[in-house]
Chains A and B, each alone.
Chain A
Amino acid sequence: MRLKNLWRVVSAHKWLLLVVVLLALVSTIFAIVGPKLLGNITTEVANALIKAVTAQSPISINFSAIAKIATFLLTLYIISVAAEIASGILMAKIAQKLTLTLRRQIVQKINRLPIAYFDRHKFGDTLARITNDVDTILGNLAQAFTQIISSIMMLGGILVMMFTISWQLSLIALATVPVATIFIGFVSKKSQKYFKATQNHLAEITAEAEEVYAGHTVVKAFAAEDLMTQKFTAENHRLQQNTFKSQFISGLLFPITHLIGNFGYVFVAAIGAGLAIDGKINIGDIQAFIQYINQFNRPLAQIGQTITLLQSTAAASERVFDFLDEPDEPTHRATAKLPKNIRGEIICQNLVFQYADSDTPAIKNLSFTTHAGQKVAIVGPTGAGKTTLVNLLMRFYDLQSGQILLDGTDIATVPRAEVRARFGMVLQQTWLIDDTLRENLRYGKPHATDAEIMTVAKAAGIEHLINDLPQGLDTPIGEEHEILSSGEKQLITIARAMLADAPMLILDEATSNVDTRTEQTIASAMQNLTKNRTSFIIAHRLSTIRGADLILVVNNGDIVEQGTHQQLLKLNGFYADLYNSQYQSAPTE
């Protein structure tokens, strides 16, 4: 059980928790004493009544005694409610703090994990840990924690109270417990079977829906809607039958326990009455006793519930802490510093790199040299290793062997952030944050002024766009606001990189999936962007890289040819083939 890990986080608030426990104890004890005291009033009245009946005299009730008990009871109730509210609010506060801590830790962890982690894990899975799992843990924890304490207290307290009133009645009441337990066991076992079947049928119908929704083209083209509906309905019927059975059978629990409870109630009333006639028990005590039996089943059920809660908490916290315990991106060896102004000369020597889940290296013994300010194009078929090369330059992954020298310094000896700060990056994926246009544009330079932003916007060809937007730079953009086309988003990412003003640039497929008209705007924006900067450009449309100073032709993880466009065409080799077969090679990477 990973509850130990959870305790590590929770124990930061152990004193607050202690207060919560104490408050819960106070309110529970008072809640238990209540019925007994109330019963005392009834007894007082009944005794007066019986005295009156037997003595044939008018009733005289001792109201001052009753008033005393009532006042005391009222005080108890008020303290009890105050304690309960206080403990509830405190627990909510603790839960709030824990949520904050856990979620913050997870998000910080995201930024510290090696990128490779996310090659192995789906985003949805990590997201589920941030939201669902944290919710499960804290929702349950707050509930389970107070419940288990008060339930146990309640159970013990009620038992004590019941036995102090009458051991005979208590035994009758307790006799119902094993009967109830047997029934509950039987019903749970039965319903468990149907719950399982329901889960299976739910998985079945999910698969069915998945298949049909994904194969929607085929269903439509062949007019197979009827068959699919028929199959779905049949499975749906089976699911409904099982849902019904599981719900009905588990729903029997309540009537059965209630019925047993009622039988107990009848026996207690009848036998209690008999005892009362013999004067062995007070009437008020019977009343109190009935209240106690009514309350007796609740903590029992709650403890059962809490155990299930704790099981799901353990599962959720295991997922959260597994994530938090993942090893961080290594930071050792990072002691050197890059000079403030770099020229941007990159030398790659015998690079070797292999992805963790792959059998063959993605980069094999790759070497090349670029000079400061050069425009370097990297071309090659899908899977050749182009993007991997960029990932290595940015130190998203660590080399197995070889080194990358930036102005003569091995970048593996420099903190990652230092290296990354020297590169501006534009990717095919137009990632923008859900914030205003201004914040998006100055993402790489948070304190840029509007004037600086507009200068860059002009160079990137989005000045018009900004002026056309109703709120200008204050316009919120992001996933939900579908006001920008993909071409416009791409231009924004270019402007963003321009504003960051890094000495080197990486453009990874920055113009694919953009229409030709926008591509021209982007091309000229990039012309501005690459001026005087060492830049690496990956592009499928070879027309965009014809003007590069150096073209690296990559295939199977190595450089097979290098040179300018003209030189490479003359070679009439791999590049020439690639150039001529443009039409064939536009897969996405």
Chain B
Amino acid sequence: MLRYFVRHWWRVLLLFAGLVLQVWSALELPTYMAEIVNRGIIGGDQPIIWQIGTQMLGVAAIGGVGMVLAGLFSSQISSLIAAQIRTDVFRQVLQFTTPDIDKFSTASLITRTTNDAMQISQSLVMLLRMSAQAPIMAIGAVFKAFQTAPDLTWIMALSVAVLLCVVFSAMFIALPKFKAMQTALDRLNQIARENLTGLRVIRAFNAERREESRFHHANTHFASLGFFASAVMSTAFPLVAFVMNLATLAVVWFGAHQIAESGLEIGNMMAFLQYAIQVIISFMFLSMAFVILPRAIVSWKRIREVLRTTPTKVTHRVILPSTPVKNLPILQISEMSYRYGNADENAVSDISLELFAGEKLAILGGTGSGKTTLVNLIAGVLDACEGEIILRGTLGLIPQKNLLFKGTVRENLKLGHKISDTELQKSITNACAADFLAEHGLNTAVAQNGNNFSGGQRQRLCIARALAQNPNLLIFDDSFSALDLKTDARLRANLAKNYQATAQIIVAQRISTIKSADQIIVIDAGRIVGRGTHAELLKSNQTYQAIAKSQMSDAEYATERKAVR
């Protein structure tokens, strides 16, 4: 946290200056007041009252300037720090791989980026403006008090000591309870969430009463902790006020004796009274910090958790520059395996394959067979556990979900890379997306998640995006589903004509989509169970035959079989 402040050191200094001015003014005013009483009232001098009064207005104005300064810099510092935190978290998340994100969940990362940072900003501004003033005020007031009435200073010292005792013992007793409350609240939430997620099971077992009593236990525990903590707080705050009252009484009582015995001026006594009140009020502000701090600390811890998570490095994938050499594969995967966090089995095992320029490879398998895991490994959002991936050149991925970002079509296609409009236009034409972009072209606005386009249009834009990168390898992850047959055919023709050198991987569930591939890999339970062309597989691979049979009518299947024989 400290390094965030260090970055704004001059703002911190100016904030400090503002606070000092503010305190100085607050402490100076009672001194003038004392003058008015001593020289004006007791001395019976009317003009001097107005003279001093004018000076007081000046002092008050300077104090006002100090406050504005403090307000300006406290809000600047806190908002800048929050912005910095947001950027830091955002950059960190961008470095995460999918398992890193899953560890927190997307929703939680979003709240950490936004709400938690905002919480810190709001707490900081309060702390900087109010609580930071307290120590300065305390030192200044004690100093002034000593100047005005040295023999009464002990009252101030004593009451500050007592106050410290009260505040700290309250904190000492209450803080652990606050922490325990957090845990108890988590438990309460946990049970409530279980009650909701287990609705059916609970009713099936007729366990409603039991769940209620489980909740009741947690609820009672939480409520009694809450009661204790707020009872401590509602004892502490009146006690602080009580100490203040005692102090004022003491000042007046002992002050009167001083006046009678050692010639203390009455105005000085009254000023002293003001100082005592100032000090005590600033202690109240300071103790407010204890109310604000815990929440800010929780938020900061949640943020730190993200910042301290080392992003998983993708070490099993190597990207080399693209090569003109024909016999070097663009994609080379050797004996690669991957297993998710606490799964019992590998999601993909022992995958080996090679893909050369211009080749078309299809990956066929059912839901849950490991196809998407394989794609994510190639794309580098997962890091393989074993084996190696070598990618020579650039990758254009068309994901299963048609993800677009808010902005313009141009922004979405370029994604920050240097690509000319002509090239973008070419990729749009090839992706059959030109017709619906006719009106505004590359400047067409894209709403959040691309919601202003239909599913098919989004898919074509995603394809255009991949093509725009002029990739050496294109991966279609189940991405023909939203296209009608005619567009599908046009797209394939465009790809065959204009992207001859590009290697392609087509991931699919349906055989019809991939029949024409140079090589088909059949994958089941994460393993390659078949490899070859459509004809070869149809002839000899049982899994492939079973899939084919299920997707075709008997007559179709018979013709297909005959054709390959």
Contacts and interface: CB of A to CB of B under 8 A. Distances in A.
B65 to A, nearest CB: 9
Contacts of A394: 200, 203-204
Nearest to A106: B192
B214 A251 contact: no
Interface in B62-114: 63-64, 67-68, 71-72, 74-76, 78-80, 82-83, 86-87, 90-91, 93-98, 101, 106, 109-110, 113-114
Nearest to A59: B260
Interface in A222-277: 222-233, 236-237, 239-241, 243-244, 247-248, 251-252, 254-256, 258-259, 262-263, 265-267, 269-270, 273-274, 276-277
Nearest to B200: A396
Nearest to A512: B368
Contacts of A420: 203-206
A240 B196 contact: no
A396 to B, nearest CB: 6
B192 A73 contact: no
A63 B97 CA distance: 80
Interface in A80-94: 80-81, 84-85, 88-89, 91-93
A581 B266 contact: no
Interface stretch (A173-181, A213-221, A556-564): A213-221
Contacts of B98: 216-217
B223 A96 contact: yes
Please report whether the interface of chain A is mostly helix, strand, loop or mixed according to DSSP: helix
B200 A425 contact: yes
Nearest to A583: B366
A266 B53 contact: yes
Contacts of A530: none
B80 A248 contact: no
Contact of A434 (B106, B191, B248, B416): B191
Interface string B236-280: 011101100110110011011101100000100110011001000
Contacts of B46: 274, 277
Given A81-B242, A581-B551, A217 B379 contact: yes
A584 interface: yes
B40 A277 contact: yes
The DSSP consensus for interface residues of chain B is helix
A262 B63 contact: yes
Contact of A277 (B44, B191, B257): B44
Interface in A411-470: 416-417, 420-421, 423-425, 427, 429, 431, 433-435, 443-444, 446
Contact of B547 (A423, A435, A500, A584): A584
B196 A110 contact: yes
Interface in B39-61: 40-42, 44, 46, 49-50, 52-53, 56-57, 60-61
A60 B257 CA distance: 10
Of listed A34, A49, A237, A478, residue having the most chain B CB within 10 A: A49
Contacts of B270: 42, 283, 287
Contacts of B210: 446
A479 B203 contact: no
A38 B249 contact: yes
B118 interface: yes
Interface in B374-426: 376, 379-381, 395-397, 399, 403, 405-407, 411, 414-417
B20 to A, nearest CB: 15
Contacts of A244: 75-76, 79-80
Contact of A431 (B29, B201, B253): B201
Max chain B C-beta neighbours (<10 A), residue from A208, A213, A276, A479? A213
A247 B234 CA distance: 29
A273 B41 contact: yes
A209 B405 CA distance: 11
Interface stretch (A155-163, A199-207, A369-377): A199-207
A212 B113 CA distance: 12
A570 B203 CA distance: 40
A85 B256 contact: no
Contacts of A518: 344
Given A258-B67, A274-B46, A487 B344 contact: yes
Contacts of B74: 247, 251
B500 interface: no
Interface residues of B, number: 154
B338 to A, nearest CB: 15
A92 B445 CA distance: 55
A240 B190 contact: no
A551 B399 CA distance: 38
A45 interface: yes
Interface residues of A, number: 155
A133 to B, nearest CB: 12
Contact of A104 (B72, B212, B242): B212
B396 to A, nearest CB: 8
A49 B259 contact: yes
Contact of A226 (B192, B211, B416): B416
B193 A104 contact: no
Contacts of A500: 205
A61 interface: yes
B297 interface: no
A359 interface: no
Interface string B195-218: 111111111111110111011100
Given A259-B60, A431-B198, A517 B79 contact: no
Given A244-B75, A262-B29, A229 B91 contact: yes
A273 B549 CA distance: 106
Q: B101, B199, B255, B257 — which one has the most chain A CB atoms within 10 A of its CB?
A: B199
A472 B480 CA distance: 51
Interface in A103-133: 103-104, 107-108, 110-111, 115, 118, 123, 126-127, 130-131
A217 to B, nearest CB: 5
Nearest to A213: B106
Contacts of A100: 219-220, 223
B403 A218 contact: yes
A53 B42 contact: yes
Contacts of A263: 57, 60
A567 interface: no
Contact of A247 (B78, B110, B411): B78
Contacts of A103: 188, 215, 219
A273 B76 contact: no
Contacts of B555: none
Nearest to B525: A516
Nearest to A113: B199
A126 B365 CA distance: 40
B366 A584 contact: yes
A348 B32 CA distance: 94
A74 interface: yes
Contacts of B106: 210, 213-214
Nearest to B50: A270
A569 interface: no
B87 A233 contact: yes
Contact of A91 (B52, B87, B234, B249): B234
A110 to B, nearest CB: 5
Contacts of B525: 516
Contact of A248 (B41, B71, B233): B71
A405 B94 CA distance: 57
B334 interface: no
Nearest to B112: A209
A391 B207 CA distance: 17
A237 B90 CA distance: 14
B550 interface: yes
A99 B224 CA distance: 10
8 tightest A-B CB contacts, nearest first: A88-B234, A227-B416, A581-B550, A255-B67, A247-B75, A270-B53, A262-B60, A224-B415
Given A46-B42, A211-B448, A577-B550, 11 more contacts: A70-B252, A222-B417, A224-B416, A228-B416, A277-B44, A277-B46, A286-B37, A431-B198, A479-B190, A515-B344, A583-B546
5 contacts: A74-B249, A240-B82, A243-B78, A266-B60, A269-B36
